[in-house]
């Protein structure tokens, strides 16, 4: 029988520094990968891991569930091999290199710049052995541990109950392979056996199988496969699986087991504050619980293969999962990068084939941030064909950057397509989302369309009674997300919507909203300790158990004109209670009730809400005479003016966009095409190309003027790099442009 020993410590050296003992899992970027500056250390770290003594007559393996990006493995000084790709499981057979005692495995892990995806993206590429490492011993006859990091047992279930099993035993001549299919209670519902072969196919039948039915009933079976010689059991592998059917309709969206199930959910990155990617099983469990609490029924596990344990949790929770590879942002030409996309897709599918929660294989994300090209399209078509060949039972998808033309060939490559749209944050207004979606659906009524990303930054120390885009307040995020939910509620043709993001996450190149090194679009903070107010508008829309939440807990000081109170709920009405007195009752419209100009006493005011037996949280508000400027994000170079001269700020007139003249509302590509306007925006383009946001995305290339950057309005470009463009700078550029007449 096989034994598995979790390896929990190692000696570690970063870049040739002296060795020190560290706990496994481990990343060397836990701190510098989250503190901003886009300067986290990328290089080679060396781990020396003492492993148990071998057992006579057994074979020894080492298993890594994730080592980013490239791992080179030695046992007792002997090269075992190399693995390229930071997110999949891989193993090496140590048997030929083992000594009777004193065995050491050395692993050189590199997250240095290379042609291994990802290299350009809006998140930190944490280096190290950041997932579990195990020492495995087996009998010589065993299910092949060297079969691409898989269990070597693949289950293909049909809702009819017909169940195909593909099994891959090794060194099993003269042995028997047996399979028991067990229900959720452990009862055997079908079984079979056959003489061992290198690739053994069995077909078993389960009568009237209990279907895996998403959040309503995530029912899993277990396939337990054994290799025996006579009465001796040599190896056993157990994998969970489920019976379900699904399809996607371009007009009515996702269907599971013959029932229409609108998919609404979130995306998730795997890192945490001060831990990076080196997180525990308890951390995974907490993430699952929070995603379930908000009411999501689908999860996009972006932008790479996640831990097997998290997929297991999704199986048993009932989430519909989009799993993907990190073919992201910018195409890297050349054979090594191409081959790496193929190997990562192969490992993603083969290692996760049995998970009933996975329905969609994602082949790329925002790959057109760089320019389109034929070898890119060829690579995408090859990935799609590979996925369909390896797993015809699931659908393929991809996430398009917002500026991808509706008519793009990219939208025809996969079974379904989704767009990452940030109308209302990076450009445009939140209300622009609906018309864009309707236009696409009208032009291509037979294509299944989804929204793979949308979001707004929300930093919990910034607040406003008059929120506006890019003020980074919780209140703007609430308005934005409420608008998005209303948009989705009236568009049943969307096959899925995935909020970006469930949790704040590290992006070391970012410097936004007064926070360095972080993307703050999460509904929950990076440390998972605080649910932002926007969390609760989703809960109000997505859950049925009665709930109610009073917003503004962190917006305590309320001057005149700042005393509205918003309550989110899935109840029909809301009664506001202030200092124990019922103030008013309002109907909940689109799951929200807004109480205007609530009267507050001097000193603390205790505010809550109720509907029958349902009570909300309680917050404390204080009546103050003047606005508390500590709630306002200092605006770039205008920070002193914000505090020193509020009257001057109030006197500023809105920007003017006269018809027939250029302005910052024009597209960058059009402004660059005119020599006069190109001269005006030259410095702005240089600033933008060097901004933390764009350098992080790799968009500092000249060809972007006709690609990702060129399709944007100059005002939107400035918004993306808001720290570099104060209001005065925007005003000066706009005034210069509006003096130039269009031809």
Helix axes 335-352, 374-390, angle to 10 degrees: 20
Does the annotation count 231 as an active-site position? no
CA triplet 318, 491, 470: central angle to 5 degrees? Answer: 90
Q: Residue 388 class from Cβ within 10 Å (0-12 exposed, 13-18 middle, 19+ buried)?
A: middle
- The per-residue b/e assignment along 133-155, b for 16 or more CB within 10 angstroms, e otherwise, is bbbbbbbebbbbbebbbbbbbbb
Q: Report the candidate in 245, 274, 276 with the shortest Cα–Cα distance to residue 258.
A: 245
90-93: strand order across its sheet = 3-7, 133-138, 59-64, 90-93
* Largest Cα span, the chain: 91
Determine the 3-state secondary structure of 34 from DSSP. Answer: coil
**Active-site residue identified among 324, 366, 483, 635:** 366
CB 202 within 8 A of CB 180: no
For 336, the token pair is 């090594």
Q: Which two tokens stand for residue 27?
A: 């990343």
Q: Is the dihedral of CA 3, 4, 8, 11 positive or negative?
A: positive
Give the C-alpha separation, 505 to 470, whole Å.
18
Q: What are phi and psi of 631, to 5 degrees?
A: -85, -5
Backbone angles phi and psi of 182, in degrees to 5: -120, 145
**348 within 8 A of 325, measured Cβ to Cβ:** yes
Burial of residue 663 (number of CB atoms within 10 Å: 0-12, 13-18, 19+): buried
CA gap 634, 155 in Å, rounded = 57
Please compute, for residue 441, the number of CA atoms within 13 A of its CA located in the half-sphere on the CB side. 20
For residue 624, give the DSSP letter: -
Q: Is 407 exposed, middle or buried (0-12, 13-18, 19+ CB in 10 A)?
A: exposed
* Torsion angle, alpha carbons of 232, 237, 238, 242, to 10: -130
**Residue for token pair 């996309």:** 341
In this structure, what DSSP letter does residue 24 have? S
Spatial distance between the Cα atoms of 46 and 739, rounded to a whole number of angstroms: 60
Where helices occur in 460-512 by DSSP H, the ranges are 474-489
- The tokens describing 289, both together, are 């619980």
Tell me the three state secondary structure of residue 244.
Answer: coil
741 three-state secondary structure: strand
User: CA 214, CA 580: separation in Å to the nearest integer?
Assistant: 42
Reduced to 3 states (helix: H, G, I; strand: E, B; else coil), residue 565 is strand
- Separation in Å, CA 409 to CA 288, 351, 381, 412, 417: 36, 30, 10, 5, 11
Q: What share of the chain is helix, strand, coil (3-state, %, to 5)?
A: 25, 30, 45
Number of CB atoms found within 10 A of residue 5's CB: 12
* Residue with the two structure tokens 């140590």: 94
Strand partners, 565: 595
Q: Which helix (H) or strand (E) holds 310?
A: helix 308-317
Known catalytic residues are 366
């Amino acid at each position: 029988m096989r034994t598995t020993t979790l390896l929990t410590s190692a000696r570690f050296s970063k870049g040739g520094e002296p060795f020190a003992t560290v706990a496994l899992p481990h990343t060397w970027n836990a701190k510098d990968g989250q503190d901003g500056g886009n300067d986290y250390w990328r290089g080679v770290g060396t781990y020396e891991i003492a492993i148990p003594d071998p057992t006579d007559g057994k074979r020894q393996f080492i298993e890594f569930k994730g080592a980013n990006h490239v791992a080179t493995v030695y046992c007792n000084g002997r090269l075992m091999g190399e693995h390229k790709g930071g997110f999949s499981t891989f193993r090496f057979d140590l048997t030929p290199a083992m000594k009777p005692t004193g065995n050491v495995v050395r692993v050189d892990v590199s997250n240095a710049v290379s042609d291994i995806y990802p290299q350009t993206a809006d998140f930190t590429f944490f280096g190290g052995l950041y997932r579990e490492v195990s020492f495995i011993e087996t009998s010589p006859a065993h299910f092949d541990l060297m079969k691409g990091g898989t269990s070597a047992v693949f289950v293909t279930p049909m809702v009819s109950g017909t169940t195909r099993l593909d099994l891959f035993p090794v060194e099993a001549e003269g042995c028997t392979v047996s399979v028991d299919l067990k229900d959720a209670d452990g009862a055997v519902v079908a079984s079979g056996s056959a003489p061992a072969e290198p690739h053994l196919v069995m077909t078993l039948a389960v009568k009237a199988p209990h279907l895996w039915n998403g959040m309503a009933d995530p029912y899993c079976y277990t396939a337990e496969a054994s290799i025996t010689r006579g009465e001796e059991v040599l190896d056993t592998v157990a994998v969970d699986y489920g019976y379900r059917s699904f399809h996607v309709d371009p007009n009515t969206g996702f269907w599971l087991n013959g029932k229409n199930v609108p998919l609404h959910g979130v995306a998730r990155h795997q890192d945490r504050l001060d831990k990076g990617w080196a997180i525990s099983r308890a951390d995974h469990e907490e993430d699952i619980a929070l995603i379930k609490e908000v009411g999501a029924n689908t999860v996009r596990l972006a932008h790479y293969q996640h831990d097997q344990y998290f997929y297991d949790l999704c199986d048993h929770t009932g989430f519909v999962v989009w799993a993907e590879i990190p073919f992201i942002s910018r195409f890297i030409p050349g054979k090594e990068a191409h081959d790496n996309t193929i190997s990562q897709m192969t490992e993603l599918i083969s290692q996760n084939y049995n998970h009933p929660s996975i329905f969609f294989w994602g082949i790329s994300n925002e790959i057109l941030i760089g320019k389109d090209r034929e070898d890119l399209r060829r690579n995408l078509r090859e990935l799609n064909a590979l996925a369909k060949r390896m797993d015809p039972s699931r659908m393929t998808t991809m996430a398009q950057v917002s500026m991808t033309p509706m008519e793009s060939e990219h939208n025809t490559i996969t079974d379904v397509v989704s767009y990452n749209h940030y109308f209302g944050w990076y450009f445009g207004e939140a209300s622009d989302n609906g018309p864009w979606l309707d236009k696409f659906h009208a032009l291509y009524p037979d294509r299944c369309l989804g929204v793979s990303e949308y979001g707004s930054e929300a930093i919990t120390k910034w607040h406003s009674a008059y929120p506006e885009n890019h003020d980074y307040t919780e209140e703007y995020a609430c308005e934005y997300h409420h608008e998005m939910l209303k948009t989705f509620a009236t568009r049943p043709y969307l096959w899925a919507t995935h909020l970006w993001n469930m949790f704040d996450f590290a992006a070391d190149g970012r410097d936004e909203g007064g926070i360095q090194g972080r993307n703050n679009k999460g509904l929950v903070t990076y440390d998972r300790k605080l649910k932002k107010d926007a969390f609760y508008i989703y809960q109000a829309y997505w859950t049925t158990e009665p709930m109610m939440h009073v917003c503004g807990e962190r917006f305590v000081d309320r001057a005149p004109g700042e005393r509205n109170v918003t309550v989110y709920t899935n109840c029909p009405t809301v009664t506001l209670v202030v200092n124990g007195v019922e103030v008013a009752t309002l109907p909940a419209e689109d799951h929200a009730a807004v109480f205007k100009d609530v009267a507050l006493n001097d000193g603390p005011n205790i505010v809550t809400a109720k509907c029958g037996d349902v009570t909300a949280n309680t917050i404390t508000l204080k009546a103050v005479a003047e606005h508390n400027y500590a709630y306002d994000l200092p605006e770039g170079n205008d920070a002193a003016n914000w505090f020193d001269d509020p009257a001057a700020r109030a006197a500023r007139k809105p920007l003017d966009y006269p018809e027939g003249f250029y302005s910052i509302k024009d597209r960058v590509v059009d402004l660059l095409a005119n020599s006069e306007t190109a001269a005006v925006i030259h410095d702005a383009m240089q600033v933008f190309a060097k901004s933390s946001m764009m350098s992080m995305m790799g968009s500092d290339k000249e060809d972007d003027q006709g690609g990702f950057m060129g399709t944007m309005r100059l005002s939107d470009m400035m918004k993306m790099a808001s720290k570099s463009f104060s209001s005065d700078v925007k005003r000066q550029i706009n005034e210069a442009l509006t003096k130039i007449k269009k031809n």
